[in-house]
Amino acid sequence: MTTSAPRALGTTLPPVFPIGLGCMGMSEFYGASNDTESLATLAHALDLGVALFDTADTYGLGANEALLGRFIADGGPDRRARMVLATKFGIVRQAGQYERRIDNSPAYIRSACEASLKRLGVDEIDLYYCHRRDPAVPIEDVVGAMAALVRAGKVRALGLSEVSANTLRRAHAVHPIAALQTEYSLWSREPEDQLLPLCAKQDTAFVAYSPLGRAFLTGQLDPAALSTQDFRAHNPRFQGTAAAANAQLVERLSALAKSWGVTNAQLALAWLLIKQPHAIAIPGTRRIARLEENIGAARVTLSPEQMTQIEAVFAPAAVQGKRYPQAGWAGIETATQDR
């Protein structure tokens, strides 16, 4: 089974190639930015058939949306028409700080949307996500404010990120939720219990972020070499004994990948897309060669036996360390939490 056929992204957006492009790392979190290289990678992604481009207002405090805005402006209406442009609101940070507060108030949602439209240089956002939940605002009010943006022609479809199954169900009762975006990969399997089945049931696409484990799964990253400016240096999974234990799992993944003639990144993405027929993966890269490698995952076939072998390496209990540092948990609902 290959996975190159387009996948649904809710019911009002066009189906998209199952591998999108995560743009976050082009502007923040994973080391130095190079806008020239990023713009070339964005253009190449479109040429390869990638449709879903993922950004957020908080990435680079607007810089990532501005980069996409420049890309869209450079390519004109034809380029814009070929893109499904996704962005997010809700995380409020000060320059140079990772710590955040979450704002889901209707007035904030309206102003954040206007600011994103301006930076992106577009009339309409294709997919607008609530990035994190502010428990002080009922989800019905949040989705109500987002639905008003759809009626006003500023947004085409709605999404949520890192919410519980209960929140997703309640939100979908107010307005169709086209996509749930949550971390999912070989080392982050929590959505399998409730969220992935619920998404399939209610025609909500599951958009898997950090599908390469923020590069850890690729076997190309040395956690000890990360600068303190890099977000991953502060992520428990990349630190000390947890990193060492996780590296042993990646070594075993590398051995499988080598024997099957694919790369770790391709194996991680192919596993995800074969396991979850309703999921869309959005690996992030700034580099054309890696983009091509990652897109190549859609041509990789894996037998049920190979899937079992991969999962035997990444048994959930074998993965060590939380996926976020303390400050990163703000606004994240666990899969079963009711808010």
Ligand X SMILES: NC(=O)c1ccc[n+]([C@@H]2O[C@H](COP(=O)([O-])OP(=O)(O)OC[C@H]3O[C@@H](n4cnc5c(N)ncnc54)[C@H](OP(=O)(O)O)[C@@H]3O)[C@@H](O)[C@H]2O)c1
Binding site for ligand X (CB under 6 A): 22-25, 30, 54, 131, 161-162, 181, 209-215, 218, 220, 265, 282-287, 290, 293-294
What is the C-alpha to C-alpha distance for residues 84 and 97, in angstroms, rounded to an integer? Answer: 30
What is the DSSP code (8-state) at residue 122? -
Helix axes 165-174, 139-151, angle to 10 degrees: 40
Instruction: Work out whether strand 21-22 and strand 52-54 pair parallel, antiparallel, or are unpaired.
Output: parallel
CB 315 to ligand X: min, Å: 20
Q: Which of 55, 60, 139, 137 is nearest to 95 (CA)?
A: 60
H or E stretch at 80: helix 63-82
Residue nearest to ligand X (CB): 22
Q: Which is nearer to ligand X, 152 or 322 (CB)?
A: 322
Pair of tokens at residue 66: 């501005």
CB 142 to ligand X: min, Å: 16
What is the C-alpha to C-alpha distance for residues 92 and 258, in angstroms, rounded to an integer? Answer: 43
**Residues in contact with 232: Cβ distance below 8 Å, sequence separation at least 6, in sequence order:** 29, 30, 214, 215, 216, 221, 223, 226, 238
What is the C-alpha to C-alpha distance for residues 210 and 223, in angstroms, rounded to an integer? Answer: 16
Q: 59 an active-site residue?
A: yes
In terms of C-beta density within 10 A (0-12 exposed, 13-18 middle, 19 or more buried), how is residue 105 classed?
middle
Q: Which is nearer to ligand X, 27 or 320 (CB)?
A: 27
CB 269 to ligand X: min, Å: 9
Q: Which is nearer to ligand X, 36 or 78 (CB)?
A: 36
Q: How far is CA 217 from CA 58, 193, 267, 272, 323, in A?
A: 25, 22, 9, 13, 13
CB 259 to ligand X: min, Å: 18
Q: Which is nearer to ligand X, 69 or 213 (CB)?
A: 213
Q: Which is nearer to ligand X, 152 or 222 (CB)?
A: 222
CB 308 to ligand X: min, Å: 23
Which residues are catalytic, by number?
59
